[in-house]
Amino acid sequence: MNSKTYISLLLVLVSLVWAGSFVAVRITVEEISSIDLGFLRFLVATPFMVLILLLSKKETRLPVKDFLSLSVLGLTGVTLLYIFQFIGIEQTTASTAAVLINTNVIFVVILSATFLKENFSFKKALGIALSFFGVLVVIFAQMTNESIVFSNVFLIGCIFMVLSALCWAVYSIVGKKLLDKYDPFTVTTYAFILGTIFFLPVVLPDITDTIQNISFNGWISILYLALICSVFGYVAWYYALSKIEAGRAVIFLNLIPLFTIVISFFTGEVPTFLFLIGASLIIYGVYLTQKN
Question: At 105, which helix (H) or strand (E)?
Answer: helix 104-115
Q: Is the predicted pLDDT of residue 35 greater than 60, yes or no?
A: yes
Each residue's pLDDT tens digit, 202-213? 999 889 999 999
Whether the predicted pLDDT of 126 surpasses 90: no
Q: What is the pLDDT of residue 72?
A: 94
**Per-residue pLDDT, 268:** 61
DSSP secondary structure of 51-93: HHHHHHT------GGGHHHHHHHHIIIIIHHHHHHHHHHHHS-
- Measuring CA to CA, which residue among 206, 217, 167 is closest to residue 29? 217
User: Which element (helix H / strand E) includes 26?
Assistant: helix 3-28
Confidence of residue 146 (pLDDT cuts 50, 70, 90): low
How far CA 92 is from CA of 98, 109, 136, 185, 275, in Å, comes to: 10, 26, 16, 33, 20
**pTM score, two decimals?**
0.80
| Least confidently predicted of 37-46, 83-92, 108-117, 227-236 | 108-117
Contact (CB, 8 A) for 41 and 225? yes
Contact 188, 49 (CB under 8 A): yes
- Spatial distance between the Cα atoms of 88 and 50, rounded to a whole number of angstroms: 29
